């Protein structure tokens, strides 16, 4: 396997670990953490491909990763604010307790 493939596999593993966290953990915070891991895996892909195909497009992947980080930061802020709101309403951060549409 080439280095490129190894790095892409790492990224895939990272993504799947994030997915596992998001799908299986009970805490809402852990779901958010899983989503963050998945976003990071995507960013890693951008950087790796930028390194691999930098000759044709010298800044595309780089910029994509940059915007990805900015958007992920916004996502984290809003997500955590939502978790706070949910916690205030339900007094819990376990996903199973959040089963009502109306409080």
Partner 1 sequence: MNVVLFIIAALILVGALATVCVRNLVYCALSLAATFAALGMLYLALGAEFIGWVQILVYVGAVAVLIVFVILLTAPDRMRSVGPLFSRSRILGVGVSLGVFGTIAYAVHKSGSLKGSLSMPAETDMQSIGEELLSSYLVPLEATGVLLTVALIGAVLFAREEPVEGSEESQESKD
Maximum pairwise Cα distance, the chain: 55
Asked if 67 interacts with partner 1 (CB under 8 A), we say yes
One of 96, 100, 101, 103 touching partner 1 (CB under 8 A): 96
Asked if 97 interacts with partner 1 (CB under 8 A), we say no
Asked if 16 interacts with partner 1 (CB under 8 A), we say yes
One of 35, 42, 62, 99 touching partner 1 (CB under 8 A): 62
Are the C-beta atoms of 69 and 91 separated by less than 8 Å?
A: no
Asked if 89 interacts with partner 1 (CB under 8 A), we say no
Picking from 45, 43, 40, the residue whose alpha carbon sits closest to that of residue 18 is: 40
Size of the site for partner 1 (CB under 8 A): 71
């Amino acid at each position: 396997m080439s280095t490129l493939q190894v790095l892409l596999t790492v990224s895939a593993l990272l993504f799947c670990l994030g997915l596992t966290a998001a799908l299986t953990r009970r805490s809402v915070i852990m779901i958010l953490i899983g989503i963050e891991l998945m976003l990071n895996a995507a960013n890693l892909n951008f950087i790796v491909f930028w390194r691999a195909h930098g000759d044709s497009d010298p800044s595309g992947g780089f910029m994509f990763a940059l915007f990805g980080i900015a958007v992920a930061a916004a996502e984290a802020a809003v997500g955590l604010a939502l978790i706070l709101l949910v916690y205030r309403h339900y007094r819990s951060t376990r996903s199973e307790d959040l089963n009502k549409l109306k409080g």
